[in-house]
A and B are shown apart, each in its own frame.
Chain A
Amino acid sequence: MTQLATPTTPEVKVATRRTSIPEGLWLRCPTCEKTIFRKRMEANQHVCPECEHHFRIGALERVAQLTDPDSFEPLFTELRCADPLNFTDLKPYNERIKAECARTGRDEAVAAGRAFIKGRPSMLCCLDLTFMMGSMGSVVGEVVTRSIEHAAERDLPLIIVSCSGGARMQESGLSLMQMAKTSAALARLDDAGGLFISVLTDPTTGGVSASFAMLGDVILAEPKALIGFAGPRVIANTIRQELPEGFQRAESLLEGGMVDRVVHRRDLRNEIARVIDYAGK
């Protein structure tokens, strides 16, 4: 969202990593460019065994990595996209959704539920980048909001793992309103003294970063995750120059004081548990 510059202007070169979810037995790491054995990478929590590149993962994989075995209890799974605007671009929105469901086996860009994280009862909500770029429409906004409310009602620490291109254009103003809705819900959680740990993963941008994702009491980020409001291409087109090395990456946000910790995926579960011990009820 919020792309201002019309990208018809000649593009300034931006260093972006291609990080689509790979297929096949072997794959090439986009960072070190080494050919790695897929199974080895997957067994390593989808982190490159050679260079520590964090591959993008779906919500279910994230849930599996963070929660104690068999402890995840899914919630709000009955919600589905309603295509409230009857939106059609080059393809009707409802067809896009159907195609995404078929391709990913998921039904929206979010998975939420109660779980134990190293024995600590928690409310966990993970956005799913594999489904329409993790974009936030009515369903994602509603699930995030219900997760926040649920955490507040049950005095559970709330963990939201974000990865998203931003608000979903196909639901226009209603997507925009999810930003206000989720942020307002967090105000109430805050008033109730609840803990919110926001985990930012690659990429967290647009309407998601400009709402709940940046509102964590504690904000953790995965290494090299792209985090920002506008996308790098839009910015490059606005300022008409190359962006500095590492711009909008987790490490530079840490340096700039925008996140609390940059945490390797293998340590994420421990770190979350540690923060819960300090700040949870």
Chain B
Amino acid sequence: MSTTYQLEFERPLREMERQMEVIEAEIAAVSRDDNADVSKPVIELERLRDKWRDELDRLYSNLTPWDTVRVARHPRRPQTRDYIGMIFKDFCELHGDRRYGDDPAIVTGFARLGSIKCLIVGHHKGRTTREKLACHFGCAHPEGYRKALSKMQLAEKFGLPIITFVDTPGAYPGLGAEQRGQAEAIAVNLREMSRLKTPIVSVVIGEGGSGGALGIAVSDKVAMLEHAWYSVISPEGCAAILWKKANEENNNAAAVALNLTAANNLRLGIIDESIPEPPGGAHRDPEAAAESIRKWLTERLRDLKRIKPANLPGRRYQRFRKLGECSQVESEQEVAAVETAG
């Protein structure tokens, strides 16, 4: 029920958990005596459990954006490889970009979603310390983006739909990454994904950090898990620049201002759907989260299968083309006035 890693906003739950543990111990102690009446503590325990569940629901339906970021980064939150195991069958991993190396921060391979053969591409953060370091905590290098693209082009060639899982704090900002063309690698992915003649669907399962996230998410349909975040910059990064300092208060403010939650992104048209998470977040019930994702993926791929592959790029272009909001200066005089002033 509880997890070892504790989120600050879950404090009220921990108090109840302690109480429940006390009662459970009490019941255990008394119930050694066959004749003991445990009905009272059992009722009390049931009452507390209900209260705990209600409190959990209440907390998770009122998460602040900054707490959402914390949930999205929860160390027990399911990652790409977890979802691959829970949702797909017969995963056949494919490695390497054929140019430089194999970036473990991006996982690619064939798999089956029910009866649908597909290609999976996903950021992977790693669970153990060793794995996390190898994956750079989900921050991909250019070779990762290039691997993703080459496998996606393979999928296009063989008519397989593409499923991508987004979960990265951002593309890796390091020496080698820059020298090997991080910007170019991401840019090429954006351009090439937009014209792949095969369906692409994406789910932001945890962190959608900027260009590093978008680099595998130029898709026909994009969803976010309810407690994932997706934004141009992390709240800390934004706070450090615009608020001059990253601290609890500023991170909070930046998280709100950035409109990074699933609900925000849905409203802005950046994503097409928010996939509900089980009570208390995906980390409390990974199987349930996986089931919701599986359902969404299956439905979307079924819809997209009806569209001729050759028509997909045009539709995908229109999806992204309309994003952004400008106002217009109406009268010509006004334009002229502004121009002469400029």
Q: Which A residues form the contact surface with B (CB < 8 A)?
A: 1-8, 60, 74, 77-82, 84-85, 87-90, 105-107, 137-139, 141-142, 145, 167-181, 183-188, 190-191, 205-207, 209-215, 227-230, 234-235, 238-239, 243-244, 247-248, 256, 258
Contact A4 B338 (CB under 8 A): no
A213 to B181, CA, bound (A): 12
What would be 27 A-B contacts, judged by CB atoms less than 8 Å apart?
A: A1-B233, A3-B170, A8-B246, A80-B327, A80-B329, A82-B325, A84-B324, A84-B325, A85-B258, A90-B242, A169-B238, A171-B324, A172-B233, A173-B270, A174-B323, A177-B270, A177-B320, A177-B324, A178-B323, A187-B191, A209-B187, A210-B190, A211-B187, A214-B183, A230-B173, A238-B172, A238-B173
By size class, the interface of chain B is 35 or more
316-342 of chain B: CB within 8 A of chain A: 316-317, 320-321, 323-330, 335, 338-339, 341-342
Q: How many A-B residue pairs have CB under 8 A?
A: 254
A161 to B187, CA, bound (A): 16
Contact A235 B178 (CB under 8 A): yes
Contact A4 B170 (CB under 8 A): yes
Closest residue of A by beta carbon distance from B176: A239
B325 surroundings in chain A (CB, below 8 A): 82, 84, 138, 171, 174
Contact A184 B210 (CB under 8 A): no
Q: How far is the CB of B331 from chain A (nearest CB, A)?
A: 10
Contact A229 B323 (CB under 8 A): no
Contact among A2, A172, A183 with B212 in the assembled complex (CB-CB below 8 Å): A2
B274: interface (CB < 8 Å)? no
A235 to B234, CA, bound (A): 16
Q: How far is the CB of B272 from chain A (nearest CB, A)?
A: 13
Contact A77 B335 (CB under 8 A): yes
Closest residue of A by beta carbon distance from B323: A177
Contact A181 B233 (CB under 8 A): no
Contact B175 A247 (CB under 8 A): yes
Q: How far is the CB of A53 from chain B (nearest CB, A)?
A: 23
Most A Cβ at <10 Å: residue of B170, B175, B211, B328: B211
Contact A81 B187 (CB under 8 A): no
Contact A186 B324 (CB under 8 A): no
